Amino acid sequence: MLKLAVLISGGGSNLQALIAATAEPGFPARIVCVASDTDAPGLAHAEAAGIPTCVVRPGDSGSREEWGQLLAAAIQEHGVGTGPEPGLIVSAGLMRILPAGFVREFSPHLINTHPALLPRFPGAHAVRDALAAGAEETGVTVHIIDEGVDTGPVLRQAALRVVAGESEAELHERIKELERPLLVETVREIAAGELELPAPSPA
Ligand code: GAR
């Protein structure tokens, strides 16, 4: 059984999808902790499911690297990234760049879901940027985190057509409807050994 740690910053609808899927009999992974950089509303989903949560605030650390070390320790306390089984860390709406030390510690057992078809529109405003660029198509990418910003090896993608006149919020909602099942299925494939995690190329 693959141990998962999920990282969030917001409402946690992807987390909720993972909680529901991993509660199904036969799903080959379970969530052992949910961590956030802030008092994310989505932490309530984990609390309701009896999953341990923690908040590790960058503002309480002297540096980004130190924040990463504290976050790593909070996750490792639950048996992810220690011992013979590496586990998997899933960044599902964490709105911060993970520091290099954290990435080196866990990658390639460290994945992210991003609301665009990478390499197009990396960064924190992917949906807005796709609309601003007049993209006719966008979507979602699940990828391994490397030391760049949304540059790691792509695992899975799903695309949709942009509808003329739709707002950023409307488009993001439609992307999330694609994103949740794609993330759940990617995690299932990794846990079942159907999808190998390639080592990221050096930065
Ligand atoms: C998701 O669409 C995720 O791809 C995005 O935040 C949303 C979180 O939604 N992440 C990024 O934009 C990271 N750059 P959720 O809190 O409802 O799961």
Measuring CA to CA, which residue among 200, 187, 192, 86 is closest to residue 142? Answer: 187
Residue 197 included in any domain: no
What distance in angstroms lies between residue 92's CA and the mean position of ligand 1's atoms?
A: 6
Ligand 1 pocket member 130 (CB < 6 A): no
For residue 198, the model assigns a pLDDT of 78
Q: How many domains does the chain have?
A: 1
Atom of ligand 1 nearest to the CA of 13: 17
Q: Would residue 203 count as lying in a domain?
A: no
Q: Is residue 144 part of a domain?
A: yes
For residue 136, count other CB atoms closer than 10 A to its CB. 9
For residue 112, the cross-strand partners are 91, 143
Q: The pTM is what?
A: 0.96
Q: pLDDT value at position 81?
A: 86
Handedness of CA 179, 183, 184, 186 (dihedral sign): positive
- Residues making up the annotated binding site are 12-14, 64, 95-98, 112
Assign residue 56 the CATH number of its domain. Answer: 3.40.50.170
Long-range Cβ pairs for the range 169-174 (8 Å, 24+): 171/127, 171/130, 171/131, 171/138, 172/115, 172/127
Please name which of 38, 147, 143 lies closest in space to residue 100, comparing C-alpha atoms.
147
Quote the pLDDT of residue 193. Answer: 95
How confident is the model at residue 202, as a pLDDT? 58
Q: Which domain holds residue 42?
A: 2-191
* The one catalytic residue among 114, 125, 143, 172: 114
Distance CA 21, CA 8 (A): 17
- The percentage of the chain sitting over the pLDDT mark of 70, rounded to a whole number, equals 98
Q: What percentage of residues in the chain have a pLDDT greater than 90?
A: 94
What is the atom index within ligand 1 of the atom nearest the CA of 16? Answer: 18
- pLDDT tens digits, one per residue of 49-70: 999 999 999 999 999 999 999 9
Token duo for residue 77: 């306390």
78 catalytic per annotation: no
Mean pLDDT of the chain: 95
- How buried is residue 161: exposed, middle or buried, by Cβ count under 10 Å (0-12/13-18/19+)? exposed
Q: Does the residue 102 lie in any domain?
A: yes
In a domain, 121, yes or no: yes
Indicate if the pLDDT at residue 175 is higher than 60: yes
- pLDDT at position 203, please? 53
Region 72-96 average pLDDT: 93
With the most atoms of ligand 1 within 8 angstroms of its CB, the residue from 179, 184, 187 to mutate is 179
Judge whether 196 lies within some domain.
Answer: no
> pLDDT per residue over 107-145, tens digit each?
999 999 999 999 999 999 999 999 999 999 999 999 999
Gap from CA of 14 to ligand 1 centroid (Å): 8
Least confident of 37-51, 73-87, 144-158, 159-173: 73-87
Residue 17 has pLDDT above 60, yes or no: yes
Is any atom of ligand 1 closer than 6 Å to the C-beta of 14? yes
Reported as a pLDDT band with limits 50, 70 and 90, residue 83 is confident
- Residue 165 located in a structural domain: yes
Q: Per the domain annotation, does 52 fall within a domain?
A: yes
